[in-house]
Amino acid sequence: MKRKTPLSGLSGLARCALAGGVLAATAALTPAHAGTVTLGFESHTNNFTYNGSVQDTYFSEGAYKYGLFSAAAGAAEGDWTGLFMDGTDLGTCVSGQCPTNNSSTFLAAFNDSVFDLFNADGGQFMLSALDASFIGDINGVYPSTAGYLRLQGIKADGSYNLIDLPLFGPTGGAFGFASYNLSGTAFGQAKYAEVYAFAFACTTSSSASCTALSSDRGQFALDNLRINTVPEPASLAVLGLGAAALFAARRRRAA
């Protein structure tokens, strides 16, 4: 069975997100957690990512599965969405302005793609930290904040949290990774069944100029996602409710 991509729902999410400008994180409770892992993508160096079914296009690291799906209008199975890039060989950066301060493997997301992360065992988890960077076009000119990385955490009851992380413009002509500690935020203290990430691209220093999922400019890089595993399983059956349906129906365990 082919995975279904809810492009109309995705556009609705973008409109909701943009209506209030760049949104702050919502409040959440702090659960107990056990076990910490860091997703560094090292075993997937130079692999490309594509739009498609979970079993055909997603990658595994321990208990976790992740991939990039396309948010473009008219997206099709097999569309290219990104690359696990070797930081020592930036000649593979097709856009021309990938971050230069990471010599390990990182995930580069292109073409307004959306990062999707979940625990394949059905458990919940907390995202406490990550490294991220904007990826610029080869001839692009960018403000001091080139964009924002939006994280959307889907809870077991179908509700969700949002947080926006600034992605800084180039310094000395080059983009670079920044580290984000989420453990002191409401987003980082909540537990999720699934987390999505996508980028807003900005044309000026005003957040009102930032757009997502529509310009083909929302390109970003991720590395070193610190995950805290929560012991109790998520109620995945209700993920189709509420806001979760915008994304989760797109890829839920295609047979």
Given this model, what pLDDT does residue 66 score? 97
Whether residue 54 contacts residue 253, with contact meaning beta carbons closer than 8 Å, is answered with yes
Q: What is the C-alpha end-to-end distance of the chain, expressed in Å?
A: 6
Given this model, what pLDDT does residue 20 score? 38
Q: Dihedral (C-alpha) 78, 58, 82, 110: value to the nearest 10 degrees?
A: 90
Whether residue 247 contacts residue 150, with contact meaning beta carbons closer than 8 Å, is answered with no
Nearest to 226 by CA among 37, 29, 32: 37
The topology under which CATH files domain 7-251 is Jelly Rolls (2.60.120)
Q: Residue 215: how many CB atoms within 10 A of its CB?
A: 13
Whether residue 14 contacts residue 23, with contact meaning beta carbons closer than 8 Å, is answered with no
Q: DSSP secondary-structure letter at 226?
A: E
What is the pLDDT tens value at each position of the chain, 255 positions in all? 333 333 333 433 443 343 334 443 333 334 444 689 999 999 999 999 999 988 889 999 999 999 999 988 888 999 999 999 999 998 888 767 999 999 999 999 998 899 999 999 999 999 999 999 999 988 888 999 999 999 999 999 999 999 999 999 999 989 999 999 999 999 999 999 999 999 999 999 888 899 999 888 899 999 999 999 987 655 543 443 333 444 444 444 443
172 vs 100, 120, 176, 219, 223, CA distance in Å? 11, 41, 10, 20, 22
Q: Name the pTM for this structure.
A: 0.80
Given this model, what pLDDT does residue 232 score? 65
Given this model, what pLDDT does residue 95 score? 66
